Amino acid sequence: MTEHTFQAEVGRVLSLVINSLYSNKEIFLRELISNASDALDKLRFRAITEPKLLEGEPELVVRLRPDKERGVLVVEDTGIGMTEAELVENLGTVARSGSQAFLAKLEEKKNVSIIGQFGVGFYSAYLVADRVEVVSRAAGSADGDRAFRWTSNGKDTFTVEPAERASRGTTIELHLKPDQKQLLDQWSLRDLVRRYSDYIAYPIELESKETANGKTETKFERINKGAALWQRPKNEITDEQYEELYRHLTHDFDAPLARTHFRAEGNVEFVGLLWIPKQAPFDLDDPRKQRGVRLFVKRVLVMDDCDAVLPQWLRFARGLVDSDDLPLNVSRELLQDSSTLRTIKKAVTRKVVDLLDEVAKDKPEDYKTFWTTFGRILKEGIVVDGEWKERLAKLTRWASTSSSSADELFSLEQYVERMKEGQDAIYYVTGESRDLLLGSPYLEALKARGYEVLLMTDAVDTWTAEAIGEFGGKKLVNAMRADVKLPETDDDKKKAEDASKGFEALISVAKKALEGKVADVRTSGRLVDSPAVLVLAHGAMPAHLEKVIRQSGKEVPRGKRDFELNPAHDAVKRLAAIAAENPSDPRLDDFIVVLYEQSLLAEGSPLEDPNGFAKRLTSLLTQAVGR
């Protein structure tokens, strides 16, 4: 017998399970049956290429055996089983990537609904048992290396030793806590299976013993309906059944946000059942993690995370696809260039996008939850997938200058409906935060015209907006760009006149003072209150994006922007006068550089020379208050 110490995370998972699920103890049975069903799926899948595994072996079944005398509940399956090494690895460690970070988050929040994403699974046995013994024999294992027993009281250690098991599979003995003996009653087991595991495709059999004339007879009775739930007509499936299947597939304790269940007929026939979860899984952004839905072929599970049936930008969707038109021995490579699969993918994508449309229309509150959680992933689709761009653009939601709070978002349709007379474009600005954008000089001319402006703060937004390009016949225009053309107002005409009057000298002084820092200097009509602003030359990257990219460790050259002066601003007018009189007035350089530095701050960029800025400002202050 070898004694092992649990990996530290296991202890933390165990105590979390015990502390946060104490009022949900009965879920242990669903978790164990779910594991058993997975083990049977794995066996059936392996048997496609190794048919010998099934010969002369017991049928595929899950059995529940209540033993009142010993106070033990046995959950048994004839699935794939585990080798000695697998027992140690699977039941002694938490082998997920990102598990440390996730555990910390869990412990902080004590959030029952996200603990499920972690797959409490096997450890939930300790909700009802104070000792658990697992005897397992791996399918196809050699004689002499047959079965092993894993035992633990769920404290710090577990032991593993050789054991006996007649054939492949896993037997889990739960030594029930004194207050959990009711679990040995036939009715309570029937009730739990009906409530939580009715859809399991394999028979779940309950053992009963009858004593008549001094003879005890053991009987097994199937207590679940079975049959792949998704193959049944929709109107025969209750919401509860859907939800239990969702939990079985995803380990999510939360109810899903929405579902779509459909049968596709035509060239390729298949059934799809997909859900949108409420919460993002903790490792949604982990690129190593396979993402996708379960793929069944003729009701046999052939792939756990088949990412080939959904585009990357729908990777938050969960569920399954079951087709009769694919070969049972599919591999990921084969799927890459299967035209059947391409047809399936397209149909599934359409169904999920339809579902999102429906939620957006009928349940705006739910849609908002969805958008806040997964919106940024959907936006990727707009950038990479031209085919779906228009439908996805409709699904986007944005903050705008008309939002009364940070979380009031609008659709592009709403924006277009509200557009002002004479307004011919959808205006937006991008930047690090809503507050920064709300105060930014780029809005001034738009505000003066009463135009609404979308405030985009996600890193992907610049690309998303550029990819959308046009919506409802209206161009999306970045108000930070140099080439923004706004319909002229009377005020503009006056500015244009002003601009033609004697700014040449100031502009040429500024060009010299800012050499190497900006691409061009000119006067412009976009400003009302601010004296100056930096704008993006055509095709240039916004400063905040440069920052994001730099933070990710990549080099980007500092893009040069154009520097625009407000010819209607008193300070600028005065500077123009000074420059006209004496272009080499020593004060000019400092003034211009301070205006430039202010514009850097307004766009959210760091100052190139903060000490210099402070000195220049102090000197200006000193002059202003007088010596």
Kindly list the residues in this chain that would bind ligand ADP in the complex (CB under 6 A): 35-36, 39, 77, 79-82, 90-91, 119, 121-123, 170, 251
Q: Return the structure tokens found at 6.
A: 């649990």
Question: Which residue has the CB atom at the shortest distance from ligand ADP?
Answer: 121
State which residue, 250 or 411, has the beta carbon closest to ligand ADP: 250
CB of 66 to ligand ADP, least distance (A): 18
State which residue, 30 or 526, has the beta carbon closest to ligand ADP: 30
CB of 43 to ligand ADP, least distance (A): 9
84, 95, 75: which is closest to 192 by C-alpha?
A: 75
State which residue, 123 or 253, has the beta carbon closest to ligand ADP: 123
CB of 46 to ligand ADP, least distance (A): 12
CB of 231 to ligand ADP, least distance (A): 24
Helix, strand, coil shares, percent, the chain, to 5: 45, 20, 35
State which residue, 80 or 257, has the beta carbon closest to ligand ADP: 80
CA–CA dist 235, 237 (Å, integer)? 6
CB of 39 to ligand ADP, least distance (A): 3
DSSP track, 209-277: EEEETTEEEEEEEE-S--S-GGGS-GGGS-HHHHHHHHHHHH---SPPSEEEEEEE-SSS-EEEEEEE-
CB of 407 to ligand ADP, least distance (A): 34
State the Cα angle at 74 between 71 and 79, rounded to 5°.
170
Distances 523 to 413, 496, 595 between C-alpha atoms, Å: 34, 9, 13
State which residue, 170 or 349, has the beta carbon closest to ligand ADP: 170
State the Cα angle at 134 between 131 and 136, rounded to 5°.
175
Position 559, amino acid: G
CB of 423 to ligand ADP, least distance (A): 54
CB of 359 to ligand ADP, least distance (A): 28
514, 610, 530: which is closest to 563 by C-alpha?
A: 514
State which residue, 123 or 246, has the beta carbon closest to ligand ADP: 123
Strand 300-306 and strand 399-400: the pairing is unpaired
State which residue, 124 or 430, has the beta carbon closest to ligand ADP: 124
172, 129, 120: which is closest to 14 by C-alpha?
A: 120
CA–CA dist 356, 274 (Å, integer)? 12
Distances 112 to 23, 105, 147, 377 between C-alpha atoms, Å: 11, 12, 35, 25
CB of 443 to ligand ADP, least distance (A): 50
User: 3-state class of 517 per DSSP?
Assistant: coil
CB of 337 to ligand ADP, least distance (A): 31
Task: Provide the Cα torsion 106, 110, 113, 117; round to 10°.
Answer: 20
State which residue, 123 or 613, has the beta carbon closest to ligand ADP: 123
Q: Return the structure tokens found at 477.
A: 């225009």
* Other beta carbons less than 10 A from residue 553's beta carbon: 6
State which residue, 125 or 326, has the beta carbon closest to ligand ADP: 125
User: 3-state class of 550 per DSSP?
Assistant: helix
CB of 467 to ligand ADP, least distance (A): 38
State which residue, 59 or 421, has the beta carbon closest to ligand ADP: 59
The answer to whether the CB of 557 falls within 8 A of the CB of 517 is no
State which residue, 80 or 513, has the beta carbon closest to ligand ADP: 80
CA–CA dist 445, 524 (Å, integer)? 10
State which residue, 174 or 399, has the beta carbon closest to ligand ADP: 174
User: 3-state class of 563 per DSSP?
Assistant: strand
CB of 33 to ligand ADP, least distance (A): 9
CA–CA dist 426, 419 (Å, integer)? 8
State which residue, 121 or 525, has the beta carbon closest to ligand ADP: 121
The answer to whether the CB of 507 falls within 8 A of the CB of 467 is no
CB of 171 to ligand ADP, least distance (A): 9
User: 3-state class of 12 per DSSP?
Assistant: helix
CA–CA dist 399, 469 (Å, integer)? 18
CA–CA dist 226, 246 (Å, integer)? 15
CB of 117 to ligand ADP, least distance (A): 10
CA–CA dist 600, 595 (Å, integer)? 9
State which residue, 14 or 271, has the beta carbon closest to ligand ADP: 14
DSSP-derived secondary structure letter, 398: B
Q: Return the structure tokens found at 495.
A: 């500015």
The answer to whether the CB of 471 falls within 8 A of the CB of 416 is yes
